Each structure stands twice: as C-alpha cells, then as structure tokens.
Amino acid sequence: MRVVIASDSFKESLSAEDVCQAIARGVRDAAPDADVVLCPMADGGEGTVDALVAATGGKAITTEVRGPLGEPVRATWGMLGTQSADKAAVIEMAAASGLPLVPPDRRDPTLTTTYGTGQLVAAALDQGARRIILGIGGSATNDGGAGCAQSVGVRFVDADGKALPQGLSGGSLKRVHAIDMSGRDDRITDCEILVACDVDNPLCGPRGAAAVYSPQKGASPEMVGQLDDALAHLADVIERDLGRDVRGLPGAGAAGGLGGGLVAFLDATLRPGIEIVTDVVGLADRLAGADLAITGEGRLDAQSMMGKVVYGVGKAAGRANVPVVAICGSIGDGADDSLALIRAYFSIIDRPMDLADALADAERLLRQTAANVMRAFRSVGPPPTRA
C-alpha cells in the first residue's frame, strides 16, 4: 500500500514537514508495511520556504537585508535541492518586508519599503538561481514594488533628473518622474520569476492595494487616499516609460502593489500559490500509483477551497484517481465544501481542550488520528477505480 502525505503546516505549532512526519508515524502504527511518501506543502504564503526546501532536499539561507522601516533584519529564504528540475530559489517577501517586522505603534505604509525583498532576489541571483518563486503575502508595504526594484538596479528619477534615494516607500511615489531600467541586473533577463499571488485586486481604485489592505498596515483614511493617488501616479509613469499597463491587472494590488511592480520591473508572472507549489514539488508524479493521499491544514473551513493546500492536493489527487482524506486541527463553517474534492475530513481534537493545549500536543494528536484513519481505510479497502 502506497500512501502520499501532503500537508500544510499547522500555524504556531508544527511545520509542514513536522506535520507530515507525525502523520507518517501514525500511518506506520496502523500499517507497518505501508510505502509512505512525504511531500510537505504550502499555498505560497507563510511556510512556503520551509515546505519547498524540505520537499526538494534544499537548503535554507539567512541574509541580512533592509527591513520595512530601513532597519536591518535577518531574512531566511531557500535554494531548492536536487529534486527540483532547475536551480531555483524560494523567497517569502514577509521575511524581509512583512507586517510582523514593524511594531504596531510604528506601522505606517507611507514609510515602509520592499527594498529588502529585492535584496533577497539579488541574493538568490548570486547563488545562481535561474528561477525564483516569490510569495508575497503578509506585507507591511504600499510602495508598488518600487523599493524592491531599486535593489536590483532600477532607477527612479525626480523632476530634476536626480535619482531618488534608495528605499522608496508608499509616501514617496509621487516624486517619481521617470523610470530608468538601464541599470537593472542583467541576470534578471535569464531568470524566471514566479509570484505566488492569490488575490485579484487591481493596483489602485476602490478594490486596489491602498483601499483594501493599507488600513490593516496602519493607514488612516487620509493616508488611504494619498497612497491610492501615489500608486495611480506610479502606474501612469510605468505605462509611459515601460509600455506596461498594470493599473487594472488582476493581482497587481497584492502586497501593497508589489504584485504589479514585479510584473512591471522584474518581468514576473503572477500565479496562484498552490499551483506553483504543486508543480515544484512534483505532486502529480508522487501521486501516481498511490492508494491513498492524506492532506491537512490547521483549520478546514470555507476558505480552504480558495486555493489552500487541501484544495490543491484534492485537485491533483482527483486527476490521479487517488482518494484523499484531510486531517486538520479544527473544523469551521464551510468545511463540507471540501467534500467536492476529498473523501472525508477529521479533526485531531480528541477531547475538550483549549487552543494552547491543542498546539502543544499536536504531534501526538496527529499521529493518533492518522493511525485511526489508516485502520478505517484498511478495514474498508480502497474504493473501486473511477471510470
């Protein structure tokens, strides 16, 4: 019997690799002869670096970069291993430019920059990356990706023809008069940059980066209008100087406009995060010939079918004609939506307990639940092959 374990992390408790290992122990408790294949997963957000490094046998690298407010931070990213088809890097922008890096009393998206994210891109190029996977969730910024672009040699010029200072922020975009791409790092031309982007917000306007996301980053109502005007101005300059219209591009408003900036300045492609991860880890090949797939995430609810790991594994397993079971920390409203893609779902909670106890005991609870799932599966046997 071949069992593929492809789970997300359980936030604040276990990494995706640790979750998969715990489930594997439970599977072997109930089926010692099982051929178990581990495939840590993520959806392009938090935990993507850890999951892809683990799934491909890669290595984690820590680089000191400029944080959202210009102060140094140590950001961890990864080079994928030999199981990856090419020399690829994986970066989470939140490691360099994320909201948790800014104390609540200092949050102000008119001041924050994605410069450090661009420094991680440069670090990956220094390691020989020919492909960069960049997750852009959890930003503290609203600079349209201008700070990131400066890190790789793009110059932003003011009305007097002078280069604007490094580390452009949302509040300084109105000073951009022209964009000079001539100094951009030549290595970007030969590097495929895939951006894990799971929102369809345009760059500016009522559904844009500033209107929808900047208040949670510390913007006042007055700031929201200023930031939106600044992004609209940047979009105009991009269209005039670079010939690219990113204003209404779906996903351009992600991460304070970083989605649009990466397309405009780094020739990036926006894709759903779970699709990128599924491709990189070779999930389709791992599922071929399997009898069962076990997936999971910290909470299964209506959002799980909006590009989360359970959704991605369910889709891939369906194509491979492999039944899927989900093991989750908790079950929320809309969990039944997942039954369109999976056979069943189970919570690991085995008695009344508070969240702190569940987080602390997650490894044992996962192992126990996985063992029970395997006992039930073995007693019933695999379902008949679908036509």
DSSP-assigned states of every residue in 316-376 = HHHHTT--EEEEEEEE-TTGGGGGGT-SEEEE---S---HHHHHHTHHHHHHHHHHHHHHH
Q: Give the mean pLDDT per block of 10 residues along the chain (387 residues).
A: 96 91 98 96 92 94 98 97 78 97 97 98 97 96 98 98 97 98 98 94 96 96 97 98 96 97 98 94 95 96 92 97 96 95 95 83 95 91 54
pLDDT, position 9 = 93
Domain span(s) for CATH 3.40.50.10350 in the chain: 2-41+293-380
Query: Up-side HSE of residue 147: CA atoms within 13 Å toward CB?
Result: 35
DSSP 201-232: --SSSTTSHHHHHGGGGT--HHHHHHHHHHHH
pLDDT, position 378 = 86
CA atoms of 72 and 110, how far apart (whole Å):
19
> How many Å from the N-terminal Cα to the C-terminal Cα in the chain?
21
Domain 2-41+293-380 grouped into CATH 3.40.640.10? no
Q: State which amino acid sits at residue 65.
A: V
Q: Are 28 and 5 in contact (CB under 8 A)?
A: no
Residue 386, C-beta contacts closer than 8 angstroms, at least 6 positions apart: 321
- Region of residue 335 (left: phi > 0; alpha: psi -120 to 50; beta: else): alpha
pLDDT, position 384 = 55
Domain span(s) for CATH 3.90.1510.10 in the chain: 48-273
CA atoms of 27 and 354, how far apart (whole Å):
26
CA atoms of 357 and 329, how far apart (whole Å):
12
Host H or E run for residue 84 = none
pLDDT, position 302 = 92
Q: Are 141 and 114 in contact (CB under 8 A)?
A: yes
Number of residues that make up the chain: 387
CA atoms of 149 and 188, how far apart (whole Å):
11
Handedness of CA 310, 313, 316, 322 (dihedral sign): negative
To which residue do tokens 């374990």 refer?
Answer: 5
Q: Which two tokens stand for residue 96?
A: 């360099």
Rg (CA), the chain: 22
Residue 101, C-beta contacts closer than 8 angstroms, at least 6 positions apart: 67, 68, 73, 94, 140
CA atoms of 74 and 76, how far apart (whole Å):
7
pLDDT, position 74 = 98
pLDDT, position 91 = 98
pLDDT, position 245 = 97
130: buried, middle or exposed (CB in 10 Å: 19+, 13-18, 0-12)? middle
pLDDT, position 79 = 97
pLDDT, position 85 = 56
CATH of the domain spanning 48-273: 3.90.1510.10
pTM score, two decimals? Answer: 0.90
Q: Are 157 and 240 in contact (CB under 8 A)?
A: no
